Amino acid sequence: MSTIQQSNQKKDTQSDSKDMEGNAVPMVVVDLGKVSAKRIKKLKKGNGKLMDEVSIAVKLAGENIKSDKELIPIIFVYQKKQNRRGLF
């Protein structure tokens, strides 16, 4: 359900992610897609199926770390699904 991408920030973007020495920092972007409000609430509380996906992404990012001192930012992106309520 989720899409995981690893990328390095380019120098020409406005949102450069750099370390103290000015080097580009690799980061992980996880796209959770369109999600219902109920699932978003559960995720914020630390429960539910989305939390399982988040923990898997964090685990995969942790395996890719070269040393114990290196940190990798993980960004989770989702869209809130619209309610399908009628006129009444």
Q: What pLDDT does residue 39 have?
A: 92
Dist. CA 19–CA 24, nearest whole Å = 7
What would the pLDDT profile of 11-62 be if each residue is shown by its tens digit? Answer: 333 345 666 777 777 778 888 899 998 999 999 999 999 999 889 888 888 8
Which residues touch 32 (CB under 8 Å, ≥6 apart)?
Answer: 1, 2, 50, 53, 76, 77, 78
Q: What pLDDT does residue 41 have?
A: 92
Segments making up each domain of the chain, as ranges: 3-10+17-80
What would the pLDDT profile of 72-81 be if each residue is shown by its tens digit? Answer: 788 889 998 8
pTM (2 d.p.): 0.60
Greatest mean pLDDT among 2-6, 10-14, 59-63, 67-71: 59-63
